[in-house]
Structure 1
């Protein structure tokens, strides 16, 4: 049973910080416990005070940096660390990506009990700033807009964000709305097409008044429906030479440049052949499978987001691709297997044993797994192993530089058994 308490500041503990933990805090050891320290950097020597105390671990707050790490840098953001949307801004970028690879290895070994799996160096951004093609903002008590933070409760007002792509910043700069009945504001941009979209979520169906000279589309999220206010309730984005429609509430990677790298790596992992049937489980708008549809005999996809299903159909056009609307468990039951190759993009909470078993019965020779956070892979690994797959390699992707999140692609291969007959 954990206990919470505060040590007096003058009794601070001196600790050497060894590395970063999943979740964005630095780690050190003192008194036989692991200490998790926000805003620490690997190599820091710090004096801390305990803020949350448990038997084998504790959270601590930095009182003083006695010796700064050689990897510590000055954060360029004026809101850091008050806004904890970025957890790694104080760490040099080279060290950020090195730590993220180590976190992937740690999650696989400690949580999934997988040792010896090849984890490649993380694919990094050439420029780790101004990459976000989407952002969520919330009203502040002062009447402006801000970001919901990670380490502290509440909304931090901001006038700019250094992660916003210039097209997002352009929208944010011209926003002038009454926030009284606003619950949430989402900005989206096609960074390769120039499309811009504002999505309002309001109380009691309140429709905001917005005046701008920019060609920005606006939509109102009404829960089960999306109402177009100005223009169409979607954007288009171009990835690897193909255009994708992305509706207001459809999922899409937050970094278009990294999404292109991701497609190249996933293609190499799949190694598709012209006669293959490709399953895309959790297909979204079709980013993966529709990028490969000309290289296989056909695509069958599953998706439970109704807006993404419609986008998939539009994006597929006349291609040999179909989509089943339903959860992974429901949709996989409708797939007439077996399939030759599979893509799996699980929900945030991961999959369960039943979904893994259904994938196993479909018997793809290779399965490429994508998750926006390695924690999902660590959760799902046991189920996929039990279903007959072997983890061959993991490729970390720095989809969101300056944050603790690390996306992963993982190559799984089907263990050799007698192949089921095709129906």
Structure 2
């Protein structure tokens, strides 16, 4: 068996990245775009000792769970890795992914798993999109999405996960660039002006924001772009974000408002939020309300609790919790996000939420040590964490154990690091009581999960 050999594979499982898994002569092969139940002809493209990667060449027998993808670009784009799988099976895959990671990485044998929370309509759910801008071989300006694991732009203004208004906005931006000879950024040379178009929409408010990320400090004829964009219903904010660095990081540090407000508003449950171009805000507001509702349910607040919300962003979960808690403390590393959080608290008339700028893995341990030095015990009834994909820092987990809150609510976007962190907490006095996956990113392999841990007497 060697590279470029072709195999007939029965796809029996799917990997964490959505690739189909089949076996031949004791070797495991990962086949992108194949789904469970398919029989495929595949060409080996890479071989390791016990496994390999193969390219789907021909679908010989379609799985009963295979469906026609909504988007013609799904194989090239790579953003919707499992769009060819029925939505029912997608939910099953994601629930199993969380369960398997808790078993394999966390070492849990009895998992209090509750049914995954899916969507009634798993398309057009994204309230935010970032479109790279470039030129094609003929020199025409194009925008769309990067092909999987590349920076090659696939021209596509009609993403099945985004909102229909995105195309209207992108058409206006490209027409403007062509009319006024505004150049697109070229990653290879570092020249050209417009790098990305960021679009945000408030689902409840119907407010819309357009932000052009530029390789410069100003946009020639910007007033003409504003004039065209203002004709779109709900347009609220048009801005520039300046990023002149040779980097693949999308946003720069300075944002200039061309017209309107510097933010749009949106509402989740009874709480309104101000969202700027750089704010972290969940991209699926329908599922976010369910996700935060679960976090609030798991926190089991009765009005007398002190709660710490770590990695709080613009205060999305904090303000949810503050409706039922006595006092909430939020921690976030991004200063602008904390300013948003404070404004959001005022906007909603919430006076029992206080916010701190800093790394959660530094702020909470420093608070604990300061209280200990003063002869007091740092206290929390509930600690909520919603960390980035890398999970929680070990020092932070250690401080949580020392503070010994009655309950820990862990909101996770990566079930592998979630399992690792839960194992640490459950080895030091906590018991896993509830787990539920939430399909926040339909048609992709990613899923959110919410867990509740209770302190047990040791």
TM-score normalised per structure 1: 0.92
Q: How does 1:378-397 map to 2 (within 5 A)?
A: 378-397=419-438
Q: Who is 2:362 aligned against? A: 330
Query: Which of residues 363, 368, 379 is equivalent to 2:409?
Result: 368
Cα displacement string for residues 372-391 of structure 1 (whole angstroms, at most 9, x for unaligned residues): 23233134333333453332
Question: Is the CA contact 1:258–1:399 (under 8 Å) kept in the aligned structure 2?
Answer: yes
Question: Is the CA contact 1:133–1:168 (under 8 Å) kept in the aligned structure 2?
Answer: no
Q: Who is 1:157 aligned against? A: 155
The farther-off stretch of 386-395 and 268-277 is 386-395
Instruction: Measure, in 1, the Cα distance between the counterparts of 2:264 and 2:416.
Output: 30
Instruction: Measure, in 1, the Cα distance between the counterparts of 2:144 and 2:168.
Output: 16
* SS of match in other structure, 1:384: helix
Q: Who is 1:22 aligned against? A: 16
Instruction: Measure, in 2, the Cα distance between the counterparts of 1:168 and 1:110.
Output: 41
Cα displacement string for residues 92-145 of structure 1 (whole angstroms, at most 9, x for unaligned residues): 111111111111112222233323212222110000101000011112332211
Cα displacement string for residues 194-237 of structure 1 (whole angstroms, at most 9, x for unaligned residues): 11112222213343632322224122223233222222222111
Q: How does 1:22-421 map to 2 (within 5 A)?
A: 22-142=16-136, 143-150=141-148, 154-176=152-174, 177=177, 178=182, 179=184, 180-207=192-219, 209=222, 210=225, 211-212=228-229, 213-214=231-232, 215-222=235-242, 223-317=252-346, 318-332=350-364, 333-334=366-367, 337-417=378-458
Instruction: Measure, in 2, the Cα distance between the counterparts of 1:395 and 1:413.
Output: 16
Moved over 4 A (4+): none
Question: Is the CA contact 1:341–1:364 (under 8 Å) kept in the aligned structure 2?
Answer: yes
Gaps of 5+ in 2: 185-191, 243-251, 372-377
* SS of match in other structure, 2:107: coil
Question: Is the CA contact 1:192–1:237 (under 8 Å) kept in the aligned structure 2?
Answer: yes
Cα distance change on mapping 1:351 and 1:255 into 2, 3 Å = same
Instruction: Measure, in 1, the Cα distance between the counterparts of 2:395 and 2:384.
Output: 17
Q: Who is 1:421 aligned against? A: none
* SS of match in other structure, 1:122: strand
Cα distance change on mapping 1:195 and 1:375 into 2, 3 Å = farther
CA RMSD of aligned residues (A): 2.0
Q: Who is 2:246 aligned against? A: none
Cα distance change on mapping 1:68 and 1:400 into 2, 3 Å = same
TM-score normalised per structure 2: 0.85
Cα distance change on mapping 1:375 and 1:175 into 2, 3 Å = farther
The farther-off stretch of 372-381 and 65-74 is 372-381
The farther-off stretch of 87-96 and 357-366 is 357-366
Question: Is the CA contact 1:140–1:146 (under 8 Å) kept in the aligned structure 2?
Answer: no
* SS of match in other structure, 1:288: helix
Instruction: Measure, in 1, the Cα distance between the counterparts of 2:27 and 2:298.
Output: 40
Question: Is the CA contact 2:241–2:256 (under 8 Å) kept in the aligned structure 1?
Answer: yes
The farther-off stretch of 379-388 and 354-363 is 379-388
Q: Who is 1:420 aligned against? A: none
Question: Is the CA contact 1:140–1:157 (under 8 Å) kept in the aligned structure 2?
Answer: no
Question: Is the CA contact 1:100–1:406 (under 8 Å) kept in the aligned structure 2?
Answer: yes
What is the CA distance between 1:415 and its match in structure 2? 2.8
What is the CA distance between 1:416 and its match in structure 2? 2.3
Cα displacement string for residues 149-204 of structure 1 (whole angstroms, at most 9, x for unaligned residues): 33555221112111112444443343333434222222111111011112222213
Gaps of 5+ in 1: 418-423
* SS of match in other structure, 2:338: helix
Instruction: Measure, in 2, the Cα distance between the counterparts of 1:350 and 1:105.
Output: 17
Cα distance change on mapping 1:368 and 1:345 into 2, 3 Å = same
